[in-house]
Amino acid sequence: MKNFEKKTLMKQQKAKRAAFTGALAAGLIMLPGMLGSTPALAQKVERGDSLSYGELIRKTENKEVKRVELDETDQVARVYLKGQKQDAQPIQVRLLEQNAELISRLKENNVDFEEVSSANGRAAVGLLINLMWILPLVALMLLFLRRSTNASSQAMNFGKTRARFQMEAKTGVKFEDVAGIEEAKEELQEVVTFLKQPEKFTAIGARIPKGVLLVGPPGTGKTLLAKAIAGEAAVPFFSISGSEFVEMFVGVGASRVRDLFKKAKENAPCLIFIDEIDAVGRQRGAGIGGGNDEREQTLNQLLTEMDGFEGNTGIIIIAATNRPDVLDTALLRPGRFDRQVIVDAPDRKGRLEILQVHSRNKKIDPSVSLEVVARRTPGFTGADLANLLNEAAILTARRRKEAITQLEIDDAIDRLTIGLTLNPLLDSKKKRLIAYHEIGHALLSTLLKYSDPLNKVTIIPRSGGVGGFSQQILNEEMIDSGLYTKAWLQDNITMTLGGKASEVEVFGEAEVTGGASNDLKVVTNLARKMITMYGMSELGLVALETQNSDVFLGRDWVNRSEYSEEMAIKIDRQVRAMATTCYQEARRIIRENRALVDRLVDLLVEQETIEGEQFRKIVSEYTQLPEKQQLVVSG
C-alpha cells in the first residue's frame, strides 16, 4: 500500500514537471513572434525630416551636401548637409530601386558617401530583447528542475543518519571547564585515556568499554561532560539526539542506526554521543497496545549494533538520560553500556567550584562571598547556578551598578526560588493578616529546636499569588543526603502549621483565611511519608507505599494497592493525628508568646522585611533561644 502511494506521488510530480516544461516551451515559441515587430516600431520612430529624391540631387549639384549614408536594406539615404549643427540628426531621403544617377552625382561633386546596412543592428536589437525575456524563464525552469532533483535526492537519503560529524570536535570545553562533579569526571577521564592510549589497557587484558551512560537530573552537566570528552579526546565525534532516529515511517530509524554505525566504523576509533536516549531506548512491549513498533525496531537495531553478532571495535558510545527507570534492561546490561555514571546535583564544595567557573567573565564586587552563596543554594544544579549569576548580572545592569553585589545575588535567589517581586501592599487589614501568618512561621522556625534557622521573613508580595514568605537556611547535609530525622520532620510540620495557628490565635476561627492551603498540602505529604515510607509511626516498620508508576512508561496497567482498606483507614487516622498534634503545639507556642508576636508584626508591617539576625535578637529579649539558634547568633 505504501509503495503504491509512493508511485502515485512520483507520477503526480512527473506530470507537474511535464506541464510546467510545456508551458515554458510554448512561451518561448510565442515570444519571437510577439517581439518581432519591435525593430519596425523603432524604425518608424526614428524617421524625422525628409527630402525628395530630386531635391537631394539638386543640393548635391549646389555643393550643399557634406556626407551621405546609403542604406540599401531600408531604401533610405541619411544626408548630412553643410552648415548643420554637430549634433543634428541626418535628413531621411527615400531612395529608388536603382540609384546610379545619385551615386554618379555624388562622385562628380566629391561628396563623401558610404553604403550601410541596418539589418545587422536590427537583428542584434531583436536578439537582445528576446534574451531579456528568455533568460529569466530559462533560469526559472532550471530552478524548478533543481528543486525536483533535490526532493528526489532527499527521498533517497531519508534513511541516512542525521548525526553531526566532526573529524576533531572543537567544542571549546575541556575537563577544567567542568566543575562540581569530580567523581563523574574521574570515570570519564579513563574513557579519554582508552581512546588516546588503548595499549596501556589492552596489554594487561583489559577490554575497552563499549558504552557509558550518563544518568542524572536535568541541568547537572551531562551534555557538558560529553562536550568535554570530545574536546579532550581529539578523535572523530558523532553527536545526535535520540528523537532524530524515530520517524513515522517503519524502518527509517533502524536504517539511520545502521548508517550511523557504518560511518563510525569507517572513522574508528571515534565517539558517538546520543542525547536523551530514553526517546528511543524505552522498554519494549510497554504501554497500551504494545507500544510504538517503529521505536522498538530502532531499539532492536541499536542493541544489535552495540553488541551483536558482529562487534564494533574502537567505537565508544556515550548516552545521556534523566529517566533511567524507563530504559530497556537489554540496553543497560554490560557489553552495551558497561558503565553508568551518576551525574547528581553538586554538594556545597561542588557548588562553590561551579560558581567560580561561571563568575570568570562577570564583574563581581570583592565583598561578595561565593562561599555564602554556595551555602544558600542547596539542591541547585550547575544550570541553576549559571542562571542565578546571569539573573544577578541582569539586575546589576538594570540598577546601573558597576559590579554584582550581594544584594543582587540575594534578590536573584529569591526571584528564582519564590518569584518576581511585586509592589508592596498598602496598610490594610490584609497586610496585617499576612504579617501575622508569616510571623507565625518565622517564630516557630526560631523557637523549635530541630527546625532550620530563619534567613528572613517578608510581606512583599511575589508573582504567583505569594503574599509573603518566611525563608529558612536549609540544612544542606540533610537535603543532599536525603536522610531526614524524625525530630526534623515533626518540627518542620509544626513550623509549616505556624501560619494557620497564628491566624486562629489572633483573629479567631471565624476570621481564618485559605492562605494555608499550600501549607496543608506540605503537611499531609510529610506526615504520609513518615507513616507509609519511613516507618515513623505506630503502624510499625513497614513500607506501605512506593513511588507512583505510570502505565505508559512500561509499568502495570492497574496500580495495585500495597495495603488493605483497613490499613488505609489506619493510615488516614495516623496522618490526621500527627497533623493535629503538631498544630496544637504550634498554637501553644504562639499563645505563650503573644506579646512577642504583636511586636514582631508591628515591626514587619513597618519594615516589610526582617532579616534573620535581627529577628533572633528581638526573640532573645523575650525568651531563651534553643542551642542551635544560639550557635547561629554567635557565628
Residues 525 and 466 in one domain: yes
* pLDDT averaged over every residue in the chain: 77
Nearest-CA neighbor of 53 among 115, 98, 10, 8? 98
Best CA proximity match to 73, nearest among 48, 40, 37: 40
CATH no. for residue 360? 1.10.8.60
Q: How does pLDDT run across 31-67, given as a tens digit for each residue?
A: 455 444 434 333 333 344 567 877 777 777 777 777 7
Q: Strand pairing of 164-166 and 211-215?
A: unpaired
Domain containing 102 equals: 47-117
Do 111 and 129 share a structural domain? no
- pLDDT grade for 498, boundaries at 50, 70 and 90: very high
Question: Could you tell me the CA-to-CA distances from 573 to 29, 443, 531, 537, 568 in Å, in that order?
Answer: 94, 29, 11, 11, 9
Domain end position, chosen among 156, 179, 208: 156
Which pTM was predicted? 0.64
Give residue 34's pLDDT.
Answer: 47
Q: Are 318 and 311 in contact (CB under 8 A)?
A: no
What is the CATH classification number for the domain harbouring 89?
3.30.720.210
Mean pLDDT of 198-203: 80
Q: Is residue 213 part of a domain?
A: yes
Classify each residue of 418-453 as buried b or exposed e, where b means 16 or more C-beta atoms within 10 Å of its C-beta.
Answer: beeeeeebeeeeebbbbbbbbbbbbbbbbbbebbbb
- Specify if 151 maps to a domain: yes
Q: What is the mean pLDDT of residues 65-82?
A: 77
C-alpha 370/C-alpha 362 separation (Å) is 13
Residue 178 belongs to domain with CATH number: 3.40.50.300
pLDDT at position 523 is 92
Please give the pLDDT value at position 223.
83
545 with 483, same domain?
yes
Per-residue confidence (pLDDT) for residue 56, from 0 to 100: 76
Q: Which residue has the higher pLDDT, 474 or 585?
A: 585
| Cβ neighbours around 89 below 10 Å, total | 12
> Strand pairing partners for 92?
50, 78
CB 528 within 8 A of CB 571: yes
Give the residue, 602 or 184, on which the prediction is more confident.
Answer: 602
Flag whether 42 is in a domain. Answer: no
The torsion angles phi and psi of 201, rounded to 5 degrees, stand at -100, -40
pLDDT at 387: 93
User: What pLDDT does 603 receive?
Assistant: 92
Q: Is 156 exposed, middle or buried (0-12, 13-18, 19+ CB in 10 A)?
A: exposed
pLDDT, tens only, 371-424: 889 888 888 888 899 999 999 999 999 999 999 999 999 889 888 888 777 777
Helices (H), 234-317: 252-266, 293-306
Span 244-272, average pLDDT: 77
Per-residue model confidence (pLDDT) at position 334: 86
Do 101 and 128 fall within a single domain?
no
Query: Catalytic site residue 176?
Result: no
Of residues 614 and 182, more confidently modeled: 614
Q: Are 604 and 439 in contact (CB under 8 A)?
A: yes
What dihedral angle (degrees, nearest 10) is formed by the CA atoms of 555, 560, 561, 564?
A: -160
pLDDT at 194: 80
Closest by alpha carbon to 32, among 119, 124, 134, 118? 134
The segment with the largest mean pLDDT, out of 31-40, 198-207, 354-363, is: 354-363
Residue 41 included in any domain: no
Indicate the pLDDT class of residue 15, thresholds 50, 70 and 90. Answer: low
3-state helix, strand, coil in the chain (%, to 5): 55, 10, 35
Question: Is the pLDDT score of 584 beyond 90?
Answer: yes
Report pLDDT for 600. Answer: 92
Domain check: are 243 and 328 in the same one? Answer: yes
The strand pairing partners of 404, in sequence order, are: 364
* H or E stretch at 78: strand 76-81
Q: Do 196 and 277 have their domain in common?
A: yes
Task: Label residue 251 by pLDDT band (50, 70, 90).
Answer: low
Are residues 462 and 535 both part of a single domain?
Answer: yes
Nearest-angstrom CA–CA distance, 210 and 20: 54
Residue 580 and residue 448 in one domain: yes
Can you give the pLDDT at residue 348? Answer: 85
Determine the Cα–Cα distance for residues 261 and 161; give it in Å rounded to an integer.
9
Q: Of 312, 342, 372, at which residue does a domain stop?
A: 342
What is the three-class DSSP state of 25?
helix
| Residue 40 located in a structural domain | no
Q: Which of 438, 476, 503, 585 is catalytic?
A: 438
Q: Which residues, 6+ apart, have CB-to-CB distance to 401 below 8 Å?
A: 408
Residue 422 belongs to a domain = no
Domain boundary residue, one of 102, 135, 156: 156
| CATH, residue 504 | 1.20.58.760
With respect to residue 82, please indicate whether it lies within any of the assigned structural domains: yes
Would you place residue 292 in the very low, low, confident or very high pLDDT band (cuts 50, 70, 90)?
A: low
Element spanning 326, H or E:
none
Q: Does 424 fall in a domain?
A: no
For residues 172 and 242, membership in a common domain is answered with yes
* Cβ(574)–Cβ(539) below 8 Å: yes
Looking at the structure, tell me whether residues 482 and 622 fall in a common domain: yes
* 358 neighbors 377 (Cβ within 8 angstroms): no
Any idea what DSSP says for residue 345?
P
d(CA 427, CA 255): 69
Distance CA 349, CA 342 (A): 17
- Residue 18 Cα to chain centre, angstroms: 43
| Cα 461 to Cα 513: distance, rounded to the nearest angstrom | 17
Which residues fall within 8 angstroms of residue 536, CB to CB, at 6 or more apart? 486, 489, 530
Looking at residue 66, what is its pLDDT?
76
Q: Do 471 and 596 lie in a common domain?
A: yes
Confidence of residue 314 (pLDDT cuts 50, 70, 90): confident
- 70 with 95, same domain: the answer is yes
Domains: count for the chain: 5
Q: Find residue 621's DSSP bridge partners.
A: none
What is the pLDDT at residue 130?
66
Give buried/exposed letters for 573-601 (b at 16+ CB in 10 A, else e): ebbeebbeebbebbbebbeebeebbebbb
Query: What pLDDT shows up at residue 635?
Result: 27
Q: What is the pLDDT of residues 96-155, one digit of tens each?
A: 777 777 777 777 777 777 777 665 556 666 667 766 777 777 777 777 776 655 544 444
Whether the per-residue pLDDT at 468 is higher than 70: the answer is yes
The 10s digit of each residue's pLDDT in 606-630 is 888 899 899 999 999 888 888 764 3
